[in-house]
């Protein structure tokens, strides 16, 4: 277990939890991430990783798939089985063999991104920066409200009529993106590109499962009819509010006050 601090203490630097089994790869990534200004907490053991995540509250985790154990770690974090670990911790899984099956398993376990081996450091750094931008709680300063749902981007809190709703990092990012234009239908390609920063080449099961879980969580908290599936197209957050209808002429006449008879 190693922590590599940054030398500049003028501000809080972004913290990365790095969980990689291969020693040369682990050292290479730790050195480069530290040189790029990140505070890096390094280990090759998943139980130690959970302790580091709880103690240091990193901004993002880079985790080796490592024969499936990394996928199990992601699943445990998202299911809140890792004690004191933020269940919305942004997470990138580093693939061991690549291929569609491992990619889908990683996303379905709750990963925010998946990078297959061999990968270049510049690409991994760019994907890490992109994930941090998408999930940055300081972007935007006012709570965004859609019906009963309130999204406080600064504190990264979602509530329904004041009741907190626990979301994973990806569910939160999906909700925020849909809430930009809540009645607009976004295509699945748009959502995969902007929320996942990834293309599945036609495979959308992970998007559908995240949307379904988000819909149920909001509904259970008291906000039904959210995250609506537009068959064959994509999703929108909610239906437009219909404009009030003008009362029929007969109704207007029936409610009019009768004229006062003249003396």
Residues 78 and 193 in one domain: no
Query: Taking CA 242 as the corner, what is the angle to CA 240 and CA 243, rounded to the nearest 5 degrees?
Result: 130
Residues 35 and 117 in one domain: yes
Domain-ending residue, one of 81, 106, 134: 134
Query: Taking CA 18 as the corner, what is the angle to CA 15 and CA 21, rounded to the nearest 5 degrees?
Result: 170
Residues 120 and 152 in one domain: no
pLDDT, tens digit (0-9, with 9 covering 90-100), for 133-180: 877 655 545 678 898 999 987 677 899 988 999 998 889 889 988 998
Residues 77 and 8 in one domain: yes
Residues 25 and 105 in one domain: yes
Query: What is the strand order of the sheet 228-230 is part of?
Result: 186-187, 234-236, 228-230
Residues 218 and 112 in one domain: no
* Domain span including residue 161: 144-236
The pLDDT of residue 16 is 93
Domain-ending residue, one of 99, 134, 169: 134
Residue 196 within any structural domain of the chain: yes
pLDDT, tens digit (0-9, with 9 covering 90-100), for 179-236: 988 999 999 888 887 787 665 555 578 889 999 999 999 999 999 889 999 988 999 9
| CATH at residue 155 | 1.10.10.10
Give the burial class of 240: count Cβ atoms within 10 A of its Cβ; 0-12 exposed, 13-18 middle, 19 or more buried: exposed
Residues 128 and 6 in one domain: yes
Query: Is 82:50 a contact under the CB 8 Å cutoff?
Result: yes
Residue 207 within any structural domain of the chain: yes
CB environment 81-110: b (16+ within 10 A), e (fewer): ebeebbbbbbbbbbbbeeeeebbbbbbebb
Nearest CA to 74 out of 105, 119, 96 is that of 105
| CATH at residue 10 | 3.40.50.2300
Overall domain count for the chain? 2
Residues 150 and 128 in one domain: no
Distance, in Å, from the CA atom of 89 to the CA atom of 171, rounded to the nearest integer, reads 12
Q: Does the pLDDT of residue 33 top 90, yes or no?
A: yes
Backbone phi, psi, residue 115, to 5°: -125, 110
Find the radius of gyration of the CA atoms of the chain.
Answer: 24
Residue 242 within any structural domain of the chain: no
Residue 252 within any structural domain of the chain: no
User: 9: pLDDT confidence band, cut at 50, 70 and 90?
Assistant: very low
Residue 47 within any structural domain of the chain: yes
The shares of helix, strand and coil residues in the chain, as percent rounded to the nearest 5, are 40, 15, 45
Residues 96 and 46 in one domain: yes
Residue 55 within any structural domain of the chain: yes
Domain-ending residue, one of 134, 154, 170: 134
Residue 249 within any structural domain of the chain: no
Residues 164 and 122 in one domain: no
pLDDT, tens digit (0-9, with 9 covering 90-100), for 51-103: 898 888 888 999 998 777 888 888 888 877 777 788 888 999 998 766 788 88
Query: What is the strand order of the sheet 144-146 is part of?
Result: 144-146, 149-152, 157-160, 163-164
Residues 11 and 101 in one domain: yes
Nearest CA to 220 out of 160, 137, 138 is that of 160
Q: Does the pLDDT of residue 247 top 80, yes or no?
A: no
Residues 14 and 109 in one domain: yes
Residue 245 within any structural domain of the chain: no
Give the burial class of 228: count Cβ atoms within 10 A of its Cβ; 0-12 exposed, 13-18 middle, 19 or more buried: middle
pTM beyond 0.85: no
Distance, in Å, from the CA atom of 115 to the CA atom of 123, rounded to the nearest integer, reads 9
Distance, in Å, from the CA atom of 28 to the CA atom of 97, rounded to the nearest integer, reads 20
């Amino acid at each position: 277990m190693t922590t590599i601090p940054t030398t500049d203490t003028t501000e809080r630097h972004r913290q990365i939890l790095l969980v990689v089994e291969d020693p040369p790869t682990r050292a290479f990534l730790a050195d480069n991430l530290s040189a790029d200004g990140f505070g890096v907490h390094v280990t090759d053991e998943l139980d130690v990783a959970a302790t580091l995540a709880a103690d240091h509250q990193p901004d993002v985790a880079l985790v080796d798939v490592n024969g499936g154990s990394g996928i199990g770690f992601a699943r445990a974090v998202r299911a809140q089985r890792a004690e004191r670990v933020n269940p919305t911790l942004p997470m990138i899984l580093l693939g061991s063999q690549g291929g569609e099956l491992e990619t889908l398993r990683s996303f379905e376990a709750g990963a925010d991104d998946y990078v297959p081996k061999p990968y270049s450091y510049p690409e991994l750094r760019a994907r890490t920066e992109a994930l941090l931008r998408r999930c940055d709680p300081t972007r935007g300063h006012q709570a965004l409200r859609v019906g009963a749902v309130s999204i406080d981007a600064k504190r990264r809190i979602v509530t329904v009529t004041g009741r907190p709703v626990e979301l994973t990092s990806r569910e939160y990012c999906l909700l925020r993106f849909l809430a930009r234009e809540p009645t607009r239908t976004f295509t699945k390609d748009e959502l995969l590109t902007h929320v996942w920063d990834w293309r599945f080449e036609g495979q959308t099961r992970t998007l559908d499962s995240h949307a379904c879980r988000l819909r149920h969580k909001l509904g259970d908290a008291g906000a039904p009819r959210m995250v609506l599936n537009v068959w064959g197209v994509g999703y929108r957050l909610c239906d437009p509010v219909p404009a009030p209808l003008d009362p029929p002429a007969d109704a207007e006449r029936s409610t009019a006050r009768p004229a006062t008879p003249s003396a």
